[in-house]
Amino acid sequence: QQPYLHIHCMFRRVLLGGIGASATAAAALSYKQSLAEEKMSLKMGIFAPPGGGKGTVCKKLVRDYGFVQVSTGDLLRDAVKNKTPLGMKAKEYMNKGELVPADLIHEIVGSHLKSPEVMQKGFILDGVCRSKANSEFIVDEGLTPDLCLILDVTEACVQERLGGRVIDPVTKDSYHLKFVPPPPEIADRCIRRKDDYPEAITKRFNLYQKGLKEVLSVFPPATVKKIPGEGAPKDVYLHVQKKVDETLAHKKMESLFEGGADPKKMMSALNALSWVLTRGSSK
> Which residues are marked as active site?
54, 130, 165, 193, 204
| C-beta of residue 132 within 8 angstroms of C-beta of residue 54 | no
For the stretch 183-191, contacts whose Cβ atoms lie closer than 8 Å and that sit 24 or more positions apart, written own/partner, are 190/166, 191/166, 191/167
Question: Cα(25)–Cα(248) distance, rounded to whole angstroms?
Answer: 18
Alpha carbon distances (Å) from 2 to 5, 253, 260, 268: 5, 14, 11, 17
Does the CA dihedral 137-66-252-149 come out positive or negative?
negative
Does the CA dihedral 138-93-212-122 come out positive or negative?
positive
Three-state secondary-structure class, residue 39: coil
- Residue 283 has a CB neighbour count (10 Å cut-off) of 10
Identify the burial level of 43 via C-beta atoms within 10 angstroms of its C-beta, where 0-12 means exposed, 13-18 middle and 19 or more buried: buried
Number of H helices, E strands in the chain: 12, 7
Question: Cα(90)–Cα(79) distance, rounded to whole angstroms?
Answer: 8
Three-state secondary-structure class, residue 224: strand
